[in-house]
Amino acid sequence: MPADTSAGPAAAAGATAAASVIHDLGYQRYDGPRLGRVQIVRALAWHSFRSAFGLGRGAKAKILPLIALAALCLPAIVNAFAMSNGNPRVVPYDTYQPALRVLVMTVFVAVQAPELVSRDLRSRVLPLYFARPIKTIDYPLAKYLAFTAACLVMMEVPLLLLYAGSIANVHGGAAVWAQTRALIPGLLVGLMWAVVLAAISLFLASLTGRRALATGAVAIFFLMTFTLAEILIAAEGQPLGSQGPQAVQNGGPAQPVIAASSLAEKVSGLFSPFTLFDGVRMWLGGTDPADGVTNPGGFGAVYALVLVIITALCLAGLAARYRKARLS
Amino acid sequence: MPHPAGVAPGADPAGRRSRGGGIVTVKGDARGGGAWDPRAMTPSTGSGDPPTAEAAAGNAAPAVIEATALTKVYPGDVTALGGLTVRFAPGVTGLIGANGAGKSTLIKILLGLVAPTSGSATVLGHDCVAGGEQIRRVVGYMPEHDCLPPDVSATEFVTHMGRMTGLPATAARERAAEALRHVGLHEERYRQIGTYSTGMKQRVKLAQALAGDPRLLLLDEPTNGLDPAGRNAMLELIERIGLEFGISIVVASHLLGEIERICDHLVAIEGGRLLRADTIDSFTRSSQTLLIEVEEGLAALHDELIRRGLRPTAYQRSLLVPIGGDATYDTVRDTVADLGLPLSRMEQRRHQVEELFRDSDAATQPGSALGFADPSATPEAADAR
């Protein structure tokens, strides 16, 4: 094998030369500071928050979040124009534009929650995170914090724009104060939306590494439950519709029938996160827009409880999902 | 060519073994010179080869990994590890076992990701149940399977992973660039990982493990899915990291023949139990032979070598001569020269570790195999004598 004889030393010499070049450049130890677990989680959360808006990704990843944010800001801009022409504020802080918000937020969480969790599942990068000096729970925690913050931006930035546009067109401290007082409940409603939507959508998205599937699951969950609740509310909410007379014919007194119907209507509101938000908002003293969800009154406590339970379950599910992923 | 020795120099362009024992230039080979006497040999290899010197002192140096009666039983009574007691010395250690032998479970336990059912283990002095986070701070892990997002660049990915190891933002960027340069991806580092070849992806996986400046690397089947050239390049890289970067490395593999040449130590497990753990030299020391290949006149050489007091054995189209010291090389060289034969290869041949395992497999029960299966008893070694 003459080829071997000639190639062997040559290759060896070449490789040794290459190795010595590398050696000259040198491997450098790292003696600088190392961040603790909390700071690593913060870094991961910041990274995830940015990726929720497509920052640090290609241009394509930025399109949808930006369109969504712009769409949500539109009413605030319209309002600013209206007010600059001397009209009173046309968009309320606490409900904003309900239909627009439901639609855009559904699209936003359906597309961006998989961006945060399904990608990592799909590319099987999770073992690398678990091999870092953090606890397993830190990963879903960071993702949840990041996505809550992202949803919060989506909810609050339009409100702040609305506020800015409003106070620019009112005069006097009292008027500004009135706007500010109206804004605060709106911000709190936004917080409620963000906390709950992030939990539900991340949990659903974390169930599959296939992004399209995850997006579909989240979108279908929100749209289906919302449609279901709307239909039920519409059906139960007809004050003297089909059931009323029938119930009377059954011999029952009229008063309880109306009360029962009203309870059914309130129960109907439990079927969708969006109707729950609205119910809790009214329970806490928000305005009653007459259409949409019935004011639950005291039953609003149940709405709040259901929201808390849903959020807790989703977060527990999210944590369990990653505990399982670590062991597999 | 049926690959007689597994250490053909052409197949191993820069491995440390061939630097020491490839084409034998008679005097230049410290290893070959004293190899027949392992006690005499180990200090002599210390010249210009620090990790091997470390390895020679292996038993005295503090262990990198120490496992005691480590047992992991998964639900359903699946025993992944059954009372594994083993220590890993500094340097490059091969963790050998068939698929399902418990390699990956061992690595997960060592990283503190899976709790052992019983027994204990320490990594760099940290207990792997209580000190998982400290371990993961100083250990780099390269998983067996794909673990790279396709739509980010290698730089971004390794930087992010460096951040996750606890590096501040600037340091993470610098060290990501460094790590990618060390694995040979400097030029391509801004390209999206999805456009990389398998070999390049493996390098990115190695780079992300390297970025946090670990004291120990756990590499799970690093040559998985690579073609022969890619395998060699990867092994060379691992060897260099062990040698020049001073990082201890555990290379898990089911391909013994492949990683034996870059390892200082071998730990073989089977069915969750220790088959054998020792330095690579101990695995092979009693089987030093010299392989001689000539283009013609094999029979004449054979006879002449016998006349000069050596004991050559025909092995395929070459001769194997037991090495009895420096004189053996001189005798062979002189014989070939005197006969005027066209010498095409002369190579110090280590007994392939795989053969030893095959034999110790048959000879000893797993678990009681800490002791040596006498390699000289193997047919192959006997053959060589």
Taking only the tens place, the pLDDT of each residue in B10-43 is 333 333 333 333 333 333 333 333 333 333 333 3
- State whether the Cα torsion B311-B313-B319-B323 is positive or negative: negative
Residue A280 exposure: Cα atoms within 13 Å on the Cβ side: 23
Query: Residue B171: its chain A contacts at CB < 8 A?
Result: 30, 32
Q: Answer yes or no: is pLDDT of A324 > 80.
A: yes
- Main-chain phi, psi angles of A301, to 5 degrees: -60, -40
| Chain B nearest CA to A227, separation (Å) | 36
In this structure, what DSSP letter does residue A295 have? P
**Which of A36, A124, A131 is nearest residue B111 as measured by Cβ atoms?**
A131
Position A255 scores a pLDDT of 45
Distances (CA, A) of B287 to B32, B102, B372: 12, 30, 14
Q: Answer yes or no: is pLDDT of B366 > 80.
A: no
Q: Answer yes or no: is pLDDT of B372 > 50.
A: no
Tokens of A2: 């003459």
Lowest mean pLDDT among A232-241, B110-119, B199-208, B237-246: A232-241
Residue of B nearest to A31 (CA): B213
Name residue B267's beta-bridge partners.
Answer: B95, B277
Model confidence pLDDT, tens digit, residues B141-180? 999 999 999 989 999 999 999 999 999 999 999 999 999 9
- Main-chain phi, psi angles of B357, to 5 degrees: -65, -40
Average pLDDT, chain A: 85
| Residues A326, B113: C-beta atoms closer than 8 Å | yes
Exposure b/e, A166-185, CB count within 10 A at least 16 = b: bbebbeeeeeeeebeebbeb
**Which of B9, B13, B146 is nearest residue A124 as measured by Cβ atoms?**
B146
d(CA B377, CA B351) in angstroms, rounded, equals: 12
**Which of B147, B156, B165 is nearest residue A123 as measured by Cβ atoms?**
B147
Give A35's contacts (C-beta < 8 A, 6+ positions apart).
A43, B166, B167, B168
Full-prediction pTM beyond 0.80?
Answer: no
Position B143 scores a pLDDT of 94
Position B311 scores a pLDDT of 83
Position B352 scores a pLDDT of 56
d(CA A138, CA A44) in angstroms, rounded, equals: 9
Exposure b/e, A54-71, CB count within 10 A at least 16 = b: beebeeebeebbeebbeb
**Which of B18, B165, B236 is nearest residue A132 as measured by Cβ atoms?**
B165
| Residues A30, B175: C-beta atoms closer than 8 Å | yes
Position B367 scores a pLDDT of 36
Model confidence pLDDT, tens digit, residues B63-79? 899 999 999 999 988 89
Tokens of B113: 């990701």
Beta strands B343-349 and B126-127, pairing class: unpaired
Contact B60/A at CB under 8 A: no
Distances (CA, A) of B328 to B8, B27, B292, B324, B348: 20, 11, 12, 6, 11
Position A107 scores a pLDDT of 97
Q: Which of A195, A108, A112, A192 has the alpha carbon at shortest distance from A154?
A: A108
Mean pLDDT, to the nearest integer, of B344-357? 66
Q: Which of A143, A140, A154 has the alpha carbon at shortest distance from A191?
A: A154
Model confidence pLDDT, tens digit, residues B205-237? 999 999 999 999 999 999 988 998 999 999 999
Query: Residue B139: its chain A contacts at CB < 8 A?
Result: 131
- For chain B, positions 172-201, list CB contacts with chain A under 8 A: 175, 178, 181-182
Is residue A263 very low, low, confident or very high in pLDDT (cuts 50, 70, 90)? confident
Q: In angstroms, how far is CA A71 from the centroid of its own chain?
A: 16
| Chain B nearest CA to A40, separation (Å) | 6
**Which of A8, A129, A135 is nearest residue B10 as measured by Cβ atoms?**
A8
Query: Residue A211: its chain B contacts at CB < 8 A?
Result: none
Give B86's contacts (C-beta < 8 A, 6+ positions apart).
B65, B66, B67, B267, B269, B274, B277
Tokens of B289: 């032979």
Contact A24/B at CB under 8 A: no
Neighbours of B326 (CB within 10 A): 15
d(CA B271, CA B40) in angstroms, rounded, equals: 36
Position A237 scores a pLDDT of 67
Distances (CA, A) of B236 to A125, A183, B14: 26, 64, 7
Beta strands B65-74 and B78-88, pairing class: antiparallel
Domains of chain B, first to last: 9-48+289-349 (3.30.70), 65-280 (3.40.50.300)
Contact A324/B at CB under 8 A: no
Model confidence pLDDT, tens digit, residues A163-188? 999 999 888 889 999 999 999 999 99
Residue of B nearest to A124 (CA): B147
Query: Residue B212: its chain A contacts at CB < 8 A?
Result: 30
Average pLDDT, chain B: 77
- Main-chain phi, psi angles of B3, to 5 degrees: 60, 65
Query: Residue A62: its chain B contacts at CB < 8 A?
Result: none
Query: In 3-state terms, chain B is what percent helix, strand and coil (to 5)?
Result: 45, 20, 35
Q: Answer yes or no: is pLDDT of B46 > 50.
A: no
Q: Answer yes or no: is pLDDT of B282 > 80.
A: no
